[in-house]
Structure 1
Amino acid sequence: MKKATSIIDRIVYAINVLVAVLLIITGILSYMPFQIVSALSVLSLVVPFLFALNILFLVYWGIKLKRQLVLSLVAIVLGYLMFGPFYGLGNNDVPQKESSDLKIMSYNVWGFNKNGWMKEPGVGDSIVQFIKKQDPDILCIQEHARTRHRQLKQYPYRSETPYVKKRTIQAIFSKYPIVNNGSLDLPGTINNIIYADIVFHKDTIRVYNLHLQSFKIRPSADNFSDGEKSERTYKRLVHTFSKQLEQAEIFREHFENSPYTNIACGDFNNTQFSNIYKIVKGDLQDTFLEKGKGFGRTYDFWKIPLRIDYILADSEFEVLSHQNFDDRLSDHYPIMATLRFSSHE
């Protein structure tokens, strides 16, 4: 009996070593501004599972009072130090708005359901009503539908993806004057990044609206269980990571030359465990990590609460609140943050 138990423990420990090493390697790779091994970049999508498995191994060895628990304990601690928290302990309280405060929303609206992906009637109009109810000062929309601006009259200023090229349409709506705008023409893709320079009281701030390369994978067991489909899915994941990395570097180069205080919003199509996120974020504040609550889900993939939409702000802003909404009107969920511009205090 002891021999059988020993063999089982060896097998468990071998799996434990693999899972712990994968978590640590993924953490190291998230700091690399390039892809060392393309295949390993995909691991950033499963970091929560790697954490969960290491916790299970920690509990397993703890119950058995075995020193093997040290491996997973070290992996969890190192993982936390490399990735940071991914569960928010904030609350949903939104402070009373002052004149120096700025409410900004980011929302991938899926074309306001113009292609009928959601079968409920009037989804596009419901999205408009939701936006009007929340009433952000600045609204960053990904996968916009140009005609919808007619229903958003509370915003006298807007900037959209230019007509000249076939792109998914991004839009920035503002209650404050837009004095300059532009588009980063990402190569070899329909995705896009736009920006707008907005006069906020006596200052000018620059708002970026990002929509990075999409995976174009619908949640389906066949995509990962069927051999041929699984291989195609894997190749698509690797290609997407490569394009996102290129796009993140284009953004970062443009961002470094911005003369203004900056906010970056949008659908990054990747998690906070990736080097793509870290390149875009740089020294910016992630409003969810500052004031968010729970897992911060912005997208459902096989019922997994992924956070792939972000609001990032320069340190000149104080993050007062961050909200994740549960309104299911798109394949993404909207997010909103309240920021206070320190120069106005």
Structure 2
Amino acid sequence: MFRKIKSTVYWIALIANIVAIVALLLVGNVDRLQPAEHPWLSNFGLGFPIVLAINLLFLVFWAVFRFKTIWLPLLGLLICYVPIRKYTPFNIKKEHPVRSIKVLSYNVFMFAIWDFDPDETNPIVDYILKSNADIVCLQETDVYGKHQDNIYKAFRKAYPYHDFVSMPAPGCQHMMLLSRYPILKKEQIKYKSAGNISFAYLINYNNQEVLVVNNHFESNHLSEADKQGYKDMVRAPFEGSTTKTGSERILDKLGRAAITRAPQVDAVAAYVKKHLDKKIPVILCGDFNDNPISYAHKTIANHLTDAYIASGNGPGVSYHKSGMYVRIDNIFCSDDFEPYEAKVDNKISTSDHYPIYTWLKYRPKY
């Protein structure tokens, strides 16, 4: 009797493990889907860490109860190596070489000025100045009055070359570029959006033109109630009709945002490719408002190297509010650069995003 029960449990676990592997493979490849055709499915990459955790639990299960079957979860993890590396890369740390340039990207959430007196030191500004980055791409830099005067003054003093973008309509969008290298040209990459923007700059890096692109792609437009609902859904995904209704509403909003974001990313990718065809090195930064297994990320990665995947370690969560912990901030570069020591810095939590930085070593191909 016991042997029969044991055999039944074994086969149930075996089949469940195979289902988990298939789920990991499918979820890990949803970035191939066009959001306009599959708005809900294209956002399933957000669930990748959950499916990955289930597969890791099977690894532990077989290691404890039937070691000779451990090959199955190991095979599954090997098959899904590419999406796993996208979501949580692991690299042998190599210190950046001399004469590398440090690049920082940071959604500063309007510098959280409501928490500070204008005459106080703003911790976000202080962090940026102390980072000693050579190129800084900032998003959501809306700031007014005395706060604006003090922040702009501090940045102008530290960075001889800078650009403060302020577009009051539509959507009241702001971003900044701070650079130690001369800015030769500035151009907005045009796409349809009620409140998000991308700007491209040609800078002179040691007599070499380099394209720097600062992006803030379409937001997901989730309310605080939606974010709380997402948090509840993750904690108890099968608990009651309220959770089901909330999850459908959230997926609907995420789907609509993904549909809007896709042509924005396509426009930036086409702009980047045009410059790559001219053999101009590229650095691309910004808040993608999308996870590492998404159409947005894959479209840019088709042309550029993700500095975090190439040189970072762990999931690198950059958005950290309301239970939605995911890496949506990125730094990419062309093959003219080699990334080193990419990191999402969780030591400063003043904004709802953590900053991400990396060092890039220029290695000319031509």
Q: TM-score range by the shorter chain?
A: 0.7 to 0.9
Given that 1:223 and 1:230 are in contact with CA atoms closer than 8 Å, whether structure 2 keeps it comes out as: no
Match of 1:246 among 254, 259, 263: 263
2:254 corresponding residue in structure 1: 237
| 2:340 pairs with 1:323 | no
**Residue identity matched to 1:338:** W
Find the counterpart in structure 1 of residue 228 from structure 2.
Answer: 220
- CA gap of 1:315–1:242, structure 2 versus 1, over 3 A, is same
**Pair 247,71 (structure 1): closer, same or farther in 2 beyond 3 Å:** farther
Residue 65 of structure 1: aligned partner: 66
Compute the displacement of 1:79 (Å): 1.2
Rounded Cα–Cα distance in structure 2 between residues aligned with 1:216 and 1:319: 32
Distance in 1, matches of 2:124 and 2:285, equals 18
Code of the residue aligned with 2:182 in structure 1: it is P
**Aligned CA distance change for structure 1 residues 265 and 5 (closer, same or farther; 3 Å):** same
Name the residue aligned to 2:41: 40
Query: Of the candidates 328, 333, 339, which is equivalent to residue 313 of structure 1?
Result: 333
Matched residue SS, 1:38: coil
> What is the match of residue 108 of structure 2?
109
Q: Specify the alignment match of 1:149 in structure 2.
A: 152
More displaced 10-residue stretch of structure 1: 136-145 or 65-74: 65-74
CA distance in 2, matches of 1:38, 1:14: 30
After superposition, the C-alpha distances for 1:108-147 in whole angstroms (9 at most, x for unaligned) are 0001113x3xx57779711111111112111100101253
The runs of at least 4 aligned residues of structure 1 exceeding 6 Å deviation read 120-124
Letter in 2 for 1:84: R
Counterparts of 1:151 and 1:262, CA distance in 2: 27
CA distance in structure 2 between the partners assigned to 1:178 and 1:230 by the alignment:
45
**Paired residue secondary structure (2:174):** coil
Work out whether 1:337 is the aligned partner of 2:354. no
Supply the distance in 2 between the matched residues of 1:12 and 1:302 (Cα, whole angstroms). 34
CA–CA distance in structure 2, aligned partners of residues 64 and 306 of structure 1? 33
Structure 1 residue 150: Cα displacement: 2.4
| Structure 1 residue 128 corresponds to structure 2 residue 125 | yes
Tell whether the 8 Å contact from 1:16 to 1:54 is kept in structure 2 after alignment: yes
Confirm or deny: 8 A CA contact 1:142 1:170 kept in the other structure. Answer: yes
What is the distance in 1 between the residues matched to 2:10 and 2:22?
18
Q: 1:223 to 1:190 in 2, by over 3 A?
A: farther
CA distance in 2, matches of 1:257, 1:72: 43
CA distance in 2, matches of 1:102, 1:31: 33
Contact (CA 8 Å) 2:166, 2:175: kept in 1 or not? no
After superposition, the C-alpha distances for 1:40-67 in whole angstroms (9 at most, x for unaligned) are 2222012122112112123324444388
| Contact 1:23–1:79 under 8 Å retained in 2 | yes
In 2, Cα distance between equivalents of 1:331 and 1:273: 21
Between Structure 1 and Structure 2, the one with more helix by share is 2
Over the matched positions of the two proteins, sequence identity in percent amounts to 24
1:302 Cα deviation after fit: 5.8
- Counterpart in the other structure of 2:78: 77
Matching residue of 1:291 = 311
Quote the Cα distance in structure 2 between the aligned partners of 1:310 and 1:14: 37
Query: What SS is found at the alignment partner of 2:122?
Result: helix
The answer to whether the 8 A contact 1:160-1:194 is kept is: no
Alpha-carbon contact 2:218-2:260 (below 8 Å) kept: yes
Deviates more, 1:22-31 or 1:80-89: 80-89
Whole-Å separation in 1 of the counterparts to 2:362 and 2:254: 39
Distance apart, 1:203 and its partner CA: 1.0
The 1:67–1:246 alpha-carbon spacing in structure 2 relative to 1, beyond 3 Å, is: farther
RMSD: 3.0
Whether the 8 Å CA contact 1:265–1:311 is kept in 2: the answer is yes
Contact 2:95 2:340 in 1 (8 A): no
Whichever residue aligns with residue 55 of structure 1, its letter is L
**TM-aligned CA distance change 1:61 to 1:343, over 3 Å:** closer
Please name the residue that 1:87 is paired with.
89
Tell me, in whole angstroms, the C-alpha distance in 2 between the residues paired with 1:165 and 1:33.
29
How far off is 1:305 after superposition? 4.9
Structure 2 residue identity aligned to 1:149: Y
Which sits farther off after the overlay, 27-36 or 261-270?
27-36
The CA deviation string for residues 210-263 of structure 1, in whole angstroms up to 9 with x for no partner, is 111222334424763634433221211211222222221111111111242111
Aligned CA distance change for structure 1 residues 13 and 337 (closer, same or farther; 3 Å): same
If the length of structure 2 is used for normalisation, what is the TM-score? 0.81
Contact kept, 8 Å, 2:202 with 2:210, in 1: the verdict is yes
Q: 1:81 to 1:289 in 2, by over 3 A?
A: closer
Structure 1 unaligned residues grouped into runs of 5+: none
Q: How many residues align?
A: 339
Q: Letter of the aligned partner of 1:20 in structure 2?
A: I
Residue 137 (structure 2) aligns with: 140
